[in-house]
Amino acid sequence: MSQVKIYAAIFAHKRQLSELQIQLTYFQLETQETKILNKQFKAEELNIFLQTTIAMYLKWLDKIDPNSIVRIRKTYSLAYAFCRMSR
């Protein structure tokens, strides 16, 4: 469900939606059973989940490779500068 919530947060932001319903479908190969989960979320709730997930990921990344965050920030600022220049 976490992966779906992250995609939903991005989708809601891009489409400027205040809320949306997500569906997650599981299919069990051995039994051929399908399980469908539907849930309604507010965009703000999804955004908080996304920001919290990113913060946890960055803490983990910093522990395994302290220089990685510096590289990510440099890469982001280079990409951002390129986008501004190409307009």
- Mind listing the pLDDT tens digit for each residue in 2-47? 899 999 999 999 999 999 999 999 999 999 999 999 999 999 999 9
**pTM over cut 0.85:** no
Position 77 scores a pLDDT of 66
So where are the chain's domains? 2-85
Is 74 a residue whose pLDDT tops 90? no
Q: Does residue 82 or residue 2 have the better pLDDT?
A: 2
CA atoms lying within 13 Å on the CB side of residue 36: 4
| Nearest Cα to Cα of residue 69 among 81, 54, 58, 53 | 58
Residue 19: beta bridge partners?
42
Q: Does residue 84 or residue 24 have the better pLDDT?
A: 24
